[in-house]
Chain A
Amino acid sequence: MVLLLLSILFPMCFGVFVIGRRGGRVGALALGGIVISLMINISALLFARGGLSVYVGTFLFALALDSLPRMLMALAPVLFLLTFVFLLGAGKNDAKRARLFGFFFLTLGALNAVYASANLLTFYMFFEVVSLLSFPLVLHDGTERARRAALIYIGFSFTGTALVLGGMKLAGMEAIESFTAGGVALSEPHNQLAFLLLALGFGCKAGLYPLSAWMVPASNESPVSVGALLSGVVAVMGVLGIVRVSYQVFGAERLSGGWAQTVLISLACLTALMGAMLAYREPILKKRLAYSSISQLSYALIGFLTFTKLGFIGGVLQVFFHACAKSGLFFSAGAVQEQTGFLRVSEMKGIGRDMPLTMGCFALLSLSIVGLPPLGGFAALWELSRGAFVYGGALGSLCVAVMLLSALLSAGAFLPVAASAFFPGKDFFACVNGPRLVGWRVLIPILVLSAAVLVFGIFPGVFSGVGERLFATISGGMS
């Protein structure tokens, strides 16, 4: 219990401490802090027993670790660590770095609290806290546009949480008391509607249409490190919310075949397709990446919402590999921007000669997003399609078709970028071998993430095993 509290409070306190710091050593300090935080998280996963629960009136607030968020709790600080390494190389001229690091830490603390929440009410509360604490990250650049994007972000976040609140009210008090494997039998008559509202509300963070419009401006107007965080961790928190609600509150078995499931899967299909199409025709690289996140996360949602074992495994794989690939892509885009100032895809011809490693990784990571073997994205896509077939029916086939079509569109969106970076064509003769503006450290996270996508893509068994065990524990005995 102490470790669990420490995993929440340490990053929070450290964050407040960092915000107040001035001077150049902030980066090293933050790096030290995140390593400690990672170690606390891991020891909490290994040794934490029991939990903490407080009644406020009839409302129960509870923290305890169950099996579902363990993987996230171990991996989220790793992504933060990589982000910080990236920030050591890029963004040195940022006068407000201390603030950026500080709010990263605060967000991490709140995220740990979300992972450790043992009932829906607590989850909801910390979910809001994450939205609030990541809000300053989005408006970090301090421009009028960034502020606008941040207000859009927070407006959508609160629309999402309002829907969650409405869903919780409809589901009644039993629903918010605890997360139970297989769900609880609820006495309220509006289970389907309540589930729909809750899933839409959490889906706001996961980029599920119709509440996905915040993602693109928020990723575009903020530093790339924040964009990576939004796609890799914050959006995943929304997915976690949907999984929690469907498997551990209502119960997958009870929801299976209901109209809410059909509506949600259809929405996820729509989102996947729309996101991919919008990504395809978007000229600005960061926006293109954000649209693609919307699309890719919907794959994972489709997987989880089919309520099949294969779909669940596919969802787990997709969440992991997408987080790796997309953060890596954001970092590469950030490195390019820092070095050349280019934002538009059309400007990026020939930069492969200047930044071969960065753009090489960019190519590899985009291939994973597209879903080519032997990269991670393929493993995920494979399991997801199998899950969709098990789900069956016209909608199941539609899911498979949508995923394949979106994969094609992703290929159209990202592969030409990589191709023209290395092969700009005959009429290209600019030589941009200027001084290196971007530090070599930015390469570390990009390389690590590419390696992860490659290695775990060849051996996806680690994560599919995790997914299988998780499904067995939380579904309450479904096959």
Chain B
Amino acid sequence: MMKFLMPVAVLLPFFSAPLFALKRFRSIRALKALTYTVVLATSAMVLILCAAYDGQMLKLAHITNLLTIGLNVDGMSRVFGCVVSILWPITTLYAFDYMKEDHKKQRFFSFFVLSYGAAVGVAFAGNLITMYLFYELLTLATLPLVMHKMDDMARYAGKRYLLYSIGGASFGFIAVVFTANYGGANAAFSLEGVLDASLVAGHEQLLRTVFTLAFFGFGVKAAIMPLSGWLPTASVAPTPVTALLHAVAVVKAGAFACIRLTYYTFGTELLKGTFAQFIPMAAALFTIVYGSARALRTNHLKRRFAYSTVSNLSYILLGVTMMSATGLMASAQHIISHAFVKIALFFCVGAVLEKEHKEYLDEIEGIGRRMPVTFACFTAASLALIGMPPLPIFFSKWAIGESAIELATGWGYVSVAALLVSTVLTALYTLSIVTRAFFPLGNPQVAVQKRTETRSMTAAILLVTVMMVLLGLFSGTIHTTLARWLIGGAA
């Protein structure tokens, strides 16, 4: 029974998409009802599966005798699945308010739902070829969302996104081909890797090279330098897209794919201590500092947080390249904590954009008075992003640092140093916004200013902020749960 819930959860959004496309909706209410039904039903199924599935791969189809399409829910799927299924409904709430005056709502929400299916597919893919398939689908499903406005900027961003993503995935495809030949692209993911040791013997260098290429290939979605150019450009998309897809679903699918590639396909045994570990690590380290520094220099608010995402995704990738159990745990923890924090920040910035039509840093002087709840949440999320205890990113950053120190080489200390430099830059690029919002230059006007917040947008913002705080307070529980899911208990 559980087994068949899995394909239903993945395919429900896909099959409901034609409904969106074909039916002409008289009222916004019908569109809302349909979207909520599909999203909530999918989320419910995903959560049930995450809680209760036993970990048997379900084979759906065979493409030639080499490749199998199969679904499975293992520990890592649970991490990604839970994050996506909790945040998607909240973003839906936010998106309906945000898109209120948009004329192409129907198209927007059909692709919005479609990408949900693709994201769940990536999470639940049982082997590399299946993941590759859904990964490409995710690119295609989110492209119309990026280009939604259809002006020159949006089209340019879309083209760029497509070029980077498809190009990256083709590097990923090399890994698919090689794993098929050296063990099994159709073998279910397992923590030791799926390569056949007898076939690998003698070809280690080749496979490491392939791994490095594929890491950068999948790393495109996770915006690793020098392949991060698409993400800041893509912030022209409507904010729900930027918040959910470009801070959570799409970019974390990239990080997720890197985890799958490193830990579940090639296995850390083959890679650890070689150039296949250090080249990606160096890139991640560079990206951490570069992203934060660019964020500080960028005055466009959404782009600023896009760069911040670039930096934070590389925290995750840094954890991945530690190639140890603690590294895996740390990156999973950062996937979760960064998701909630960054979505809160983007929601706030989006609210400013939609309700006040302000996009740049110097336009928001004193805005905190008109949007007090929004900016209170923004401040909380900023502090979380900097890494104040007891908010969640402190714990995940600590875990990444700890796994880096465990490495006990110069790389470990450089990693810690990079994290710390980025922390300082983060403090500057978030708090300079808070400063302008709450402490405008000169004497603030005494006249009461009208509030510009709206209810459902603020509700969504509050909801994610509260969840973020709880996530920090219960980080112990999360840590033990992750340990149970990912490495079988011992933490």
**Interface of A with B (CB < 8 Å)?**
22, 55-59, 61, 95-96, 121, 124-125, 128-129, 132, 135-136, 139, 142-144, 147, 150-151, 154-155, 157-159, 161-163, 165-166, 169-170
- The CA-CA distance from A57 to B398 in the complex, in Å, is 12
Q: Which 6 A-B pairs have the closest CB atoms?
A: A57-B476, A158-B427, A162-B420, A125-B389, A169-B401, A158-B424
User: Which one of A58, A95, A151, A162 contacts B476 once the chains associate, using CB atoms below 8 Å?
Assistant: A58
Minimum CB distance partner of A95 in chain B: B443
User: Is B265 part of the contact surface with A, judged by Cβ < 8 Å?
Assistant: no
User: Is B202 part of the contact surface with A, judged by Cβ < 8 Å?
Assistant: no
- The CA-CA distance from A57 to B480 in the complex, in Å, is 8
Apart from A59-B475, A135-B435, 8 more pairs, CB < 8 Å: A22-B446, A56-B475, A132-B431, A147-B435, A151-B428, A158-B424, A166-B401, A169-B405
Q: Can you list 17 contacts pairing A with B, beta carbon distance less than 8 Å? A: A22-B446, A56-B472, A56-B473, A56-B475, A59-B475, A95-B443, A143-B442, A144-B441, A151-B428, A151-B435, A154-B427, A158-B427, A158-B428, A161-B423, A165-B387, A165-B401, A170-B405
Minimum CB distance partner of A143 in chain B: B441
Minimum CB distance partner of A22 in chain B: B446
Evaluate contact between A166 and B476: CB separation under 8 angstroms.
no
User: Which one of B395, B405, B441 contacts A142 once the chains associate, using CB atoms below 8 Å?
Assistant: B441
Minimum CB distance partner of A164 in chain B: B420
Evaluate contact between A162 and B444: CB separation under 8 angstroms.
no
- The CA-CA distance from A163 to B476 in the complex, in Å, is 25
- The CA-CA distance from A125 to B424 in the complex, in Å, is 15
- The CA-CA distance from A440 to B491 in the complex, in Å, is 65
- The CA-CA distance from A144 to B475 in the complex, in Å, is 40
Q: Decide: A151 near B441, CB < 8 A? Known: A162-B423, A166-B417, A166-B420.
A: no
A135: B residues at CB distance < 8 A:
431, 435
Evaluate contact between B435 and A139: CB separation under 8 angstroms.
yes
A132: B residues at CB distance < 8 A:
383, 431
At the interface, is chain B mostly helix, strand, loop or mixed? helix
Evaluate contact between B432 and A151: CB separation under 8 angstroms.
yes
Minimum CB distance partner of A58 in chain B: B476
**Interface of B with A (CB < 8 Å)?**
383, 386-390, 395, 398, 401-402, 405, 416-417, 420-421, 423-424, 427-428, 431-432, 435, 438-444, 446, 472-480
Minimum CB distance partner of A162 in chain B: B420
Evaluate contact between A59 and B402: CB separation under 8 angstroms.
no
- The CA-CA distance from A339 to B365 in the complex, in Å, is 32
- The CA-CA distance from A33 to B456 in the complex, in Å, is 38
B383: A residues at CB distance < 8 A:
132
A162: B residues at CB distance < 8 A:
420-421, 423-424
Evaluate contact between A159 and B475: CB separation under 8 angstroms.
no
Tell me, rounded to whole Å, the shortest Cβ–Cβ distance linking A199 to chain B.
16
A139: B residues at CB distance < 8 A:
435, 439
B416: A residues at CB distance < 8 A:
166, 169-170
Q: Which of A59, A143, A144 has the most CB of B within 10 A?
A: A59
Q: Which of B424, B428, B438, B475 has the most CB of A within 10 A?
A: B424
Minimum CB distance partner of B477 in chain A: A57
Evaluate contact between B389 and A150: CB separation under 8 angstroms.
no
Minimum CB distance partner of A154 in chain B: B431
A96: B residues at CB distance < 8 A:
443-444
- The CA-CA distance from A162 to B426 in the complex, in Å, is 11
A158: B residues at CB distance < 8 A:
386, 423-424, 427-428
A125: B residues at CB distance < 8 A:
388-390
Tell me, rounded to whole Å, the shortest Cβ–Cβ distance linking A289 to chain B.
25
- The CA-CA distance from A157 to B388 in the complex, in Å, is 13
A142: B residues at CB distance < 8 A:
439-443
A121: B residues at CB distance < 8 A:
389
Q: Decide: A55 near B476, CB < 8 A? Known: A169-B402, A169-B405.
A: yes
Evaluate contact between B479 and A124: CB separation under 8 angstroms.
no
- The CA-CA distance from A407 to B448 in the complex, in Å, is 53
Tell me, rounded to whole Å, the shortest Cβ–Cβ distance linking B263 to chain A.
23
A124: B residues at CB distance < 8 A:
389
Evaluate contact between B472 and A155: CB separation under 8 angstroms.
no
- The CA-CA distance from A154 to B421 in the complex, in Å, is 14
Evaluate contact between B388 and A128: CB separation under 8 angstroms.
yes
B428: A residues at CB distance < 8 A:
151, 154-155, 158
- The CA-CA distance from A170 to B443 in the complex, in Å, is 46
B395: A residues at CB distance < 8 A:
56-57, 59
- The CA-CA distance from A159 to B398 in the complex, in Å, is 16
Minimum CB distance partner of B420 in chain A: A162
- The CA-CA distance from A142 to B477 in the complex, in Å, is 44
Tell me, rounded to whole Å, the shortest Cβ–Cβ distance linking B411 to chain A.
15
B473: A residues at CB distance < 8 A:
56
User: Which one of B388, B435, B477 contacts A150 once the chains associate, using CB atoms below 8 Å?
Assistant: B435
Minimum CB distance partner of B422 in chain A: A162
- The CA-CA distance from A55 to B473 in the complex, in Å, is 9
Q: Which of A22, A59, A162, A170 has the most CB of B within 10 A?
A: A162
